[in-house]
Chain A
Amino acid sequence: MSVLIILIIVSVFVAGGFLIAFLWSVKSGQMDDDYTPSVRMLFDDELKSNKAASVKK
């Protein structure tokens, strides 16, 4: 059943990767705002500003 060990190691790595991602996201402020992202994602369909103010990239 040595494969069990391998699967556990692989799973721990995956979970560990997610843990690092989680810690990073908390540290970098991803979770600081837990309300406005849900509203902001709704407003992206219409082009609001006029062309003059924008810079072509």
Chain B
Amino acid sequence: MQLESFQYDNKTVRNFAIATIIWGVVGMTVGLWVALQLVFPTVLNLQPYFNFGRLRPLHTNAVIFAFVGNGIFMGVYYSLQRLLKTRMYSDTLSKIHFWGWQLIIVAAAITLPLGISTAKEYAELEWPIDIAITVIWVVFGWNMFATIIKRRERHLYVAIWFYIATFVTVAVLHLVNSFELPISLFKSYSWYAGVQDALVQWWYGHNAVAFFLTTPYLGLMYYFMPKAANRPVFSYKLSIIHFWALIFLYIWAGPHHLLYTALPNWAQSIGIVFSFMLIFPSWGGMINGLLTLRGAWDKVREDVILKFMVVAVTAYGMSTFEGPMLSLKSINAVAHFTDWIIAHVHVGGLGWNGMLTFGILYWLIPRIYKTELYSKKLANVHFWLATLGILFYAIPMYWAGFQQASMWKQFTESGQLKYQFLETVTYMAPFYAMRALGGVLYLSGAIIALVNIFKTIGQGTLVANEEAEAPALEKEYTKHTGEHWHRWIERKPTPLLIMSLIVILIGGMVEIIPTFLVKSNIPTIASVKPYTPLELQGRDIYVREGCYTCHSQMIRPFRSETERYGEYSKAGEFVYDHPFQWGSKRTGPDLAREGSGNLKKSNTWHFNHLEEPSAISTGSVMPSYAFLIEHDLDTATTPLKINAMRTLGVPYDEGFAPKANAALMVQAKEIAASLKKDGIEVPANKEIIAVIAYLQRLGTDINKK
């Protein structure tokens, strides 16, 4: 058996590693900033670019796609080559992948503060960036699969299975959820409307957590944890079961984000059942990880890398226990829209993703630089700062969540709601401050890691191309793995038929889906009408400003909600909402019926409140939107928007588009006139007028006779 010699590419690994740590610090800094904005709203909200609503998507996108994303690629490029005993297929593809991904991140960092956003959580980036993501993702997949094909090791280690599942599923999710109709380079409308858009979004949103934050990191866990402990995984058999069970269950769990909403009940039930079953593979994986260290717990005491990994796997266990619990209707009824969810995601994000990333960085950087870690002591300091940071973050947020939920739901003996919404906001102040302290601890740890990593890099030299040797795959096996599966299909007519059917169906779906969806947008409630041009423009400003990051538009059928916000929300009310704006968090009150019933306020109230929220509602944490008074409304887009809506099936009259601006000005002047009566002089062509028009419209349709 002849050995072939070849070289591992460490340079790409190094590049992704540096990107991981730098973007990590950036993303966490933005996170700390938005956390502090809730403590010092008037000081830290720098309108318009750095208001909470624009920065919060920047934080989530940065930590998910920049920090964790680069972490995934770092780990995949390192482990894939070694597991398959081959260099990555193409250095050019690796380079395109690396720089393409960084460009996407930079584009996100620029566009999100500018308010260029689709307002779909974790998919806020506009369509040109969506296309760039698709291209780079294909480059990644091409590079990975070509590497798998030219491998020198027949067996695919379980980690690789996790990487493959990640690639395939994220590709599908991204494509389906990003179906949008552009009206300009920086603005598009989601093809789906209302409840359909919500379902697609949370099918995506949940699976982004599953297949971007979980499966690739499980692959990394199965590679780097045994490596760091220098002992095999507790049970390889269990790891295989973990993999297959997890991926078959995960894609069905999305609807648990929409419990008690207007989503059909049976879909909610499917989501609950699969979410609950997920606890078994998840805990199987956690136990497998922890038991890998059986008999080696003395090492954990000594080795800071293992400490990071143990906390990571424990956090994985905690959040995957909590996830299924939160998917139960009775618990979800309490937890949804509260800060409990913020605690939950940060146990996962800071604990599982963060700690595993840092563990891998500390293990990997000295290896590819042929040196020792610059300072074990600093790494230990980092470990304790990070661990305490997670606790200081999560505990106040859990407390805040329980408190919020119970205050929202409490009635007095006479049957009145006990607390004004604003009282629940001011009650949160100390918890938000403590949470920010947790963030400070965690971020300082990350900065120490950055210094430690760069010092380590400084004292070593990169082995850009690491020599390695392995025997070539035996010939019959190349045939077996390379061509065999296709031959197998070719010999059997039935699988061939099924496969070709799938291919045909995909083509057909691309053609059919758009019309299919437009047709189903026929309103189910006759009194629900399309937005007026001014309201539509106002809605787009609402989308641009990221109002959904704090305000929901979904009244659940509980007495505590219908008393506070009015009649519960119905699917038929959202048929013209491209995109849906149900939100997932109530830092501020629900706005689904802001324009109707008890919640109805005057135009003047809205004007003053948008200009300076804390002047109207003492203790409000909402940023000022005074710049809306200065900004002119871009009416040039109105006909384009009306036409786009018509394409999506919104029944504006034919020929309405050119006349839309006239209608817009009539309504705008009415609002300006009513403001003038109260002594507020504002021209009718300002953005604030459109926002007021939209807020006044919210929830009014079903009351019309």
Interface residues of A (CB under 8 A from B): 1-4, 6-7, 9-11, 13-18, 21-22, 24-25, 27-28, 30-31, 33-35, 37-39, 41-42, 44-45, 47-49, 51, 53-57
Q: Which residues of chain B in 224-251 are interfacial with respect to chain A, using CB atoms and an 8 Å cutoff?
A: 226-227, 230-233, 236-237, 239-240, 244, 247-248, 251
Known contacts A13-B502, A22-B244; A54 and B517 CB within 8 A of each other: no
Establish whether residues A28 and B469, one from each chain, have CB atoms under 8 Å apart when the complex forms.
no
**With a CB–CB cut-off of 8 A, which chain A residues contact B168?**
14, 17-18
Known contacts A9-B509, A34-B240; A54 and B230 CB within 8 A of each other: no
Establish whether residues B520 and A44, one from each chain, have CB atoms under 8 Å apart when the complex forms.
no
Known contacts A1-B195, A28-B481, A28-B484; A57 and B236 CB within 8 A of each other: no
**With a CB–CB cut-off of 8 A, which chain A residues contact B196?**
1-4
**With a CB–CB cut-off of 8 A, which chain A residues contact B195?**
1
List 23 A–B pairs whose Cβ atoms lie within 8 Å, in order of A's numbering: A1-B267, A3-B199, A4-B199, A4-B267, A7-B199, A10-B176, A11-B252, A13-B172, A13-B506, A14-B251, A16-B502, A18-B165, A27-B488, A35-B236, A37-B155, A38-B226, A38-B236, A41-B232, A47-B468, A54-B3, A54-B469, A57-B6, A57-B472
Bound-complex Cα distance A18 to B480 (A): 19
Bound-complex Cα distance A56 to B192 (A): 55
**With a CB–CB cut-off of 8 A, which chain B residues contact A25?**
156, 161
Establish whether residues A42 and B230, one from each chain, have CB atoms under 8 Å apart when the complex forms.
yes
Establish whether residues A30 and B156, one from each chain, have CB atoms under 8 Å apart when the complex forms.
yes
Produce 1/0 per residue, B1-36, CB < 8 A to A.
011111000000000000000000000000000000
Establish whether residues B2 and A53, one from each chain, have CB atoms under 8 Å apart when the complex forms.
yes
Establish whether residues A44 and B5, one from each chain, have CB atoms under 8 Å apart when the complex forms.
no
**With a CB–CB cut-off of 8 A, which chain B residues contact A45?**
367
Interface of A is mostly: helix
**Best-buried of B6, B232, B233, B367 by chain A (most CB within 10 Å):** B232
**With a CB–CB cut-off of 8 A, which chain A residues contact B176?**
6-7, 10
**With a CB–CB cut-off of 8 A, which chain B residues contact A21?**
164
Known contacts A7-B176, A11-B252, A33-B155; A47 and B467 CB within 8 A of each other: yes
Establish whether residues A24 and B485, one from each chain, have CB atoms under 8 Å apart when the complex forms.
yes
**With a CB–CB cut-off of 8 A, which chain B residues contact A9?**
505, 509
Known contacts A14-B251, A34-B236; A2 and B469 CB within 8 A of each other: no
Cβ of B82 within 8 Å of any chain A Cβ, yes or no, is: yes
Establish whether residues A51 and B264, one from each chain, have CB atoms under 8 Å apart when the complex forms.
no
Bound-complex Cα distance A55 to B247 (A): 41
**With a CB–CB cut-off of 8 A, which chain A residues contact B203?**
7, 11
Bound-complex Cα distance A16 to B472 (A): 32
Known contacts A11-B251, A44-B468; A2 and B516 CB within 8 A of each other: yes
Establish whether residues B502 and A3, one from each chain, have CB atoms under 8 Å apart when the complex forms.
no
**With a CB–CB cut-off of 8 A, which chain B residues contact A57?**
4-6, 472
B492 to chain A, nearest CB (A): 12
**With a CB–CB cut-off of 8 A, which chain B residues contact A44?**
82, 85, 468
Bound-complex Cα distance A2 to B485 (A): 35
Closest 7 CB pairs of A and B: A38-B232, A3-B196, A38-B236, A54-B3, A2-B520, A57-B4, A34-B237
